[in-house]
């Protein structure tokens, strides 16, 4: 369409630049803070230009951590976060694709019930039923373990629902052709459905990886042993020091490192991620 409205175009760019400043500013401040020495905060204002202690701060936080907070070095916490994010993402994809397959390609008694049992948990985050879930995990002896960190978060409906939606769009005839070609259900699943789901799996992986990495309350509760701390919850321990200002330069270095992996994943896989996100909710 021909649009020759210079004013409107200028306004458009202005709005977007303001928007970007709004979203980027907090992170800019954090990055700046993470490059300064701890004395730079004593005059009572965050500096606005980078300092010289970036390497010092980052290597210290990665290898040693913040001594006063009882949190381990960030390197360990990042590893824990990675384990948690990967287990949750892969685990969810695995159990979800199987149950979506069952729901779409079979008819059996209690099918609708099974679907609703899964679906009802779609938006029921762990925060709401935190006490009793915590108790179940404690009773099962899963506190301070990777199993306890991940398994309770593995069942959620989002992934099942995405796969269901996707399977419904796969032409009926594909499965019929495969049946005539002599493929049983699991063979059809492996040879046809799984390869066709590749894009969806990748997109979902991005979303679920972020979900797993960003968990906060759950690791806070199920880990008391600091060797299982994850980075997002660990930062809070660092920032939460009694009776004194936190060591802002180190806390912000940790914040930057905690944001980095999921942001890299999102930007690196932007197309897939946007597609997966939008389709999972359609």
- Spatial distance between the Cα atoms of 90 and 79, rounded to a whole number of angstroms: 16
Minimum CB separation of residue 231 from another protein in Å reads 9
List Cβ neighbours of 279 (8 Å cut-off, separation of 6 or more): 162, 165, 166, 200, 203
Minimum CB separation of residue 178 from another protein in Å reads 8
**Two tokens, residue 53:** 């202690």
Which of 61/137 has CB closer to another protein? 137
Which of 76/160 has CB closer to another protein? 160
**Two tokens, residue 13:** 């760019």
Minimum CB separation of residue 59 from another protein in Å reads 21
Interacting residue with another protein among 10, 16, 64, 138 (CB under 8 A): 16
Burial of 105 (0-12, 13-18, 19+ CB in 10 A): middle
The Cβ-side half-sphere exposure at 62, using a 13 Å CA radius, reads 10
Minimum CB separation of residue 203 from another protein in Å reads 12
x/- mask, another protein, residues 227-256, rule CB under 8 A, reads -----xx-xx--x-----x--x--xx--x-
Q: Within positions 22 to 81, which residues make up the interface with another protein, using CB under 8 A?
A: 22-27, 29-30, 33, 41, 44-46, 48
Interacting residue with another protein among 20, 59, 67, 146 (CB under 8 A): 20
Q: Is 90 in the site for another protein (CB under 8 A)?
A: no
- Spatial distance between the Cα atoms of 137 and 142, rounded to a whole number of angstroms: 5
Q: Is 10 in the site for another protein (CB under 8 A)?
A: no
Find tokens 């977007």 and name the residue: 16
Q: Is 224 in the site for another protein (CB under 8 A)?
A: no
Q: Is 266 in the site for another protein (CB under 8 A)?
A: yes
- Spatial distance between the Cα atoms of 164 and 99, rounded to a whole number of angstroms: 9
């Amino acid at each position: 369409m021909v649009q020759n409205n210079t004013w409107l175009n200028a306004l458009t760019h202005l709005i977007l630049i303001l928007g970007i400043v709004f979203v980027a500013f907090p992170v800019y401040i954090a990055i700046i803070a993470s490059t300064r020495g701890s004395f730079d905060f004593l005059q009572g204002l965050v500096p606005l230009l980078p300092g010289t202690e970036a390497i010092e701060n980052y290597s210290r936080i990665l290898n040693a951590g913040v001594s006063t907070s009882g949190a381990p070095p960030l390197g360990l916490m990042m590893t824990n976060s990675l384990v948690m994010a990967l287990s949750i993402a892969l685990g969810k994809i695995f159990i979800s694709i199987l149950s979506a397959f069952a729901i779409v390609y079979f008819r059996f008694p209690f099918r609708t019930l099974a679907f609703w049992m899964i679906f009802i948990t779609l938006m029921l985050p762990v925060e709401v039923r935190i006490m009793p879930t915590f108790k179940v995990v404690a009773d099962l002896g899963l506190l301070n373990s990777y199993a306890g960190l991940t398994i309770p978060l593995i069942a959620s409906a989002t992934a099942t629902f995405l796969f269901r939606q996707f399977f419904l769009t796969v032409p009926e005839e594909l499965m019929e052709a495969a049946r005539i070609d002599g493929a049983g259900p699991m063979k059809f699943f492996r040879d046809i459905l799984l390869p066709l789901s590749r894009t969806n799996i990748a997109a979902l992986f991005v979303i679920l990886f972020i979900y797993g990495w960003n968990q906060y309350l759950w690791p806070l509760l199920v880990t008391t042993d600091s060797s299982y701390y994850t980075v997002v919850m660990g930062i809070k321990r660092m920032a939460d020091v009694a009776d004194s200002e936190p060591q802002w330069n180190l806390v912000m270095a940790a914040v930057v490192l905690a944001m980095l992996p999921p942001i890299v994943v999102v930007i690196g896989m932007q197309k897939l991620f946007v597609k997966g996100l939008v389709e999972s909710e359609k």
